[in-house]
Amino acid sequence: MSNHSKLEKVNSAAFQNQPNVNASRSVPFMKSKKVKKAGLFALFVGPAFLAFAMIVLIPFFTGVYYAFTDWNGVTGNVSWVGLDNFKYLFTEDKQFQQSFMLTIKYTAVAIILTNIVGFGLALLISQMLKTRNILRTVFFLPNLIGGLLLGFIWQFIFIKGFESIGKLTGISLFQLPWLGDEQTAFWGIVIVSVWQGAGYIMLIYLAALQNVPQDIVEAAKIDGASRFQVLRHITMPMVAPAVTICLFLTISSSFKIFDVNLSLTNGGPFKSTEMLALNIYTEAFVNNRYGIGEAKALIFFLVVAAITVIQVSITKKKEVES
């Protein structure tokens, strides 16, 4: 072997043994880039997560702990009682059971009526009416009024307004004891809640209706489809995602009704219209049995979470099928 070839082999071996300068330089660069991304993520997400943890997570897990104690919400004496609070709720607390069943009944009625009224108003406004912008504002306006104020306004309407109309017209509907009887008081709460919530649901349905392709609707009408057939076979499948959202919102809001129930009837007459949220509030902050109130709230949370998860999963499957 010549000296020239030996020299080439020695140089190539020496070159292979040298460290990769570019690779060694890229490692610190990649690390600094990841650190920079992590720092930006912590900068933007950190304050929001900290606020969420302080306002939601810490109180939630603290409440879960108190659900297994006999704390009265005032003193510092907290004793662990295990499942005794839950046993009491399911065996002895008849008012809790009554409020739970009444809330389920109210939720079923409010969900159906709110969605029907909201969808009907959206269909009305989606027509080419000259006053559609004014109607949209009028229908949405009740949603801007707070529940407590709304309850006191309708309390005056049910007691004074309906009484005056009944005397002038003689119509028996306006002469009923709307807030003095168990059945009429329940329907009074339903009327106020639907009147308040239908406007917001209307906007969601209206946005979905405006995205329905008009060429498909026109083609169906040319083929002889009636308005009901267009609504059933074209419009409803197209607005299925909006139905999922509206059902989720109405289920959660109906289960959590509190302010209208408090200001309109305060659970009366004789606690016959006391919904579950008002029952929890009364137990924890009026009767000073915070542990039992937290146990009720925990059961309430689990039931609402399970129902909403089941509802979303079912309606999502319906969307795919349609």
Structural domain spans, the chain: 21-59, 86-321
Residue 225 pLDDT class (50, 70, 90 cuts): confident
Average pLDDT in the 162-183 region? 89
Give the Å distances, CA to CA, from 302 to 30, 113, 157, 260.
45, 25, 36, 23
Q: What's the one-letter identity of residue 172?
A: S
| Ramachandran area for residue 271 (φ above 0: left; ψ -120 to 50: alpha; else beta) | left
**Tokens at 36, concatenated:** 């920079």
Residue 322 pLDDT class (50, 70, 90 cuts): low
- Above pLDDT 90, what percent of the chain? 50
- Please check the confidence at residue 111 and state whether its pLDDT lies above 90: yes
List, for residues 65-104, the tens digit of each pLDDT value: 999 999 988 888 889 999 999 999 999 999 999 999 999 9
Give the Å distances, CA to CA, from 74 to 41, 65, 292.
40, 16, 14
For the chain, give the mean pLDDT.
86
Fold of 86-321: MetI-like fold (1.10.3720)
Higher pLDDT, 163 or 30: 163
Average pLDDT in the 119-148 region? 86
- Please check the confidence at residue 4 and state whether its pLDDT lies above 70: no
Average pLDDT in the 183-195 region? 93
